[in-house]
Amino acid sequence: MNKQRSFLKSKYDSSKSSSYEEDGAEFLITYGSGTVKGDWAYETVKLGEVEVKHQPFAEVQDAGGLGFAYTVGKFDGILGLAFPGISIDGTTTVLENAQQQNAIPEPVFSFYLGNEADGELTFGGYDSTKFEGELEWVDLLSPTYWLIPVDTINAGRRSLESGTSAVVDSGTSLIAGPSKTVREIALTIGAKPNGSGQYMLDCDKTDSIPDIIFSINVSEYTLEGKDVVIESNGACLLAFMGIDTPPPNPEWILGDVHILKIPNWV
């Protein structure tokens, strides 16, 4: 697989590849920020030492729908790690292909988020040196997104939600939830809306934020005030944002803010 540098991005050049296979079917996906277009093709993909042959992938000609985050982000493309049931056109995913080709010892992948240090993505297992204690396994509600049941969500002693669901998503930076509930959290700590579904607060109030407790699979996972505030250039952002998704979509998305604090469950 060959690539070239252009506008600070590594771009794929099929003319320099001996394993490229043309498909020609149109690729189209719509994100919250817009539409991304291209054509389907096949290629041998290497993930570290893992080699996956004849992998369907999209040669993107128009990445404008990825928005400003793609322009300034330190990534060149997107590798989906959910299930085939929600892949575009039912396409075989990289992890599914790797399993079928016996390229990985078991159908597992794991993230370690370094929190300003180098992170790690492991295919085929997990790195036991990156966490303490025993792993806690949580059954999925369906083989689509990484969708799990959430028993309760509390802010200190105040109950916010019960009997809800959440997607664990490394591609989401914040924690997203129903606008009404996120607004309650913001009002409780004196945060003010910034006009885009997010909230800003006085950095001095961080220590007074009540613990946000997610009860999942009977275990409690606690986020302290410092865990739910992102500070940059003297401004503080509450790491919750409001979203409202119609059923049967999940109500909550547990993004990197949650994953950083909860490293020992999969």
C-alpha dihedral, 84 to 85 to 87 to 91, nearest 10°: 50
Domain that holds residue 247: 133-261
Decide: 134 and 265 in contact? Cβ < 8 Å: no
Residues 141 and 256 in one domain: yes
Q: Is residue 46 part of a domain?
A: yes
Final residue of a structural domain among 101, 122, 151:
101
Residues 90 and 202 in one domain: no
**Phi and psi, residue 126, nearest 5°:** -150, 160
Q: What pLDDT shows up at residue 66? A: 83
On the question of pLDDT at 234 being above 80, the answer is yes
Q: What pLDDT shows up at residue 10? A: 87
Decide: 202 and 215 in contact? Cβ < 8 Å: no
Residues 138 and 242 in one domain: yes
Residues 55 and 150 in one domain: no
CATH of the domain at 221: 2.40.70.10
Strand ranges, E, within 49-145? 50-62, 109-112, 120-123, 142-143
Residues 138 and 221 in one domain: yes
pLDDT band of 263, cuts 50, 70, 90: low
Decide: 38 and 60 in contact? Cβ < 8 Å: yes
The CA distance from 50 to 103, in Å, is 6
On the question of pLDDT at 7 being above 70, the answer is no
The CA distance from 175 to 47, in Å, is 28
Residues 152 and 68 in one domain: no
Q: Is residue 116 part of a domain?
A: no
Q: What pLDDT shows up at residue 266? A: 47
Decide: 115 and 256 in contact? Cβ < 8 Å: no
Residues 237 and 178 in one domain: yes
Q: What pLDDT shows up at residue 196? A: 74
Quote the number of domains for the chain. 2
pLDDT in tens, 12-64: 999 999 999 999 899 999 877 789 999 999 999 999 899 999 999 999 998 88
pLDDT in tens, 209-219: 999 999 999 89
Q: Is residue 76 part of a domain?
A: yes
Residue 81, H or E segment: none
How many Cβ atoms from other residues are within 10 Å of residue 235's Cβ? 12
- For 175, residues 6+ apart whose C-beta sits below 8 A from its C-beta are 228, 239, 240, 241, 252, 253, 254, 255, 257, 258
pLDDT in tens, 93-108: 999 999 999 999 999 9
Q: Is residue 47 part of a domain?
A: yes
What pTM did the predictor assign? 0.81
pLDDT in tens, 146-191: 999 999 999 988 899 999 999 999 888 899 999 999 999 898 888 9
pLDDT band of 144, cuts 50, 70, 90: confident
Tokens of 22: 């043309």
- For 94, residues 6+ apart whose C-beta sits below 8 A from its C-beta are 45, 47, 52, 55, 79, 80, 81
Tell me whether residue 139 is exposed, middle or buried, using C-beta atoms within 10 angstroms of its C-beta: 0 to 12, 13 to 18, 19 or more: exposed
Q: Is residue 66 part of a domain?
A: yes
The CA distance from 28 to 97, in Å, is 21
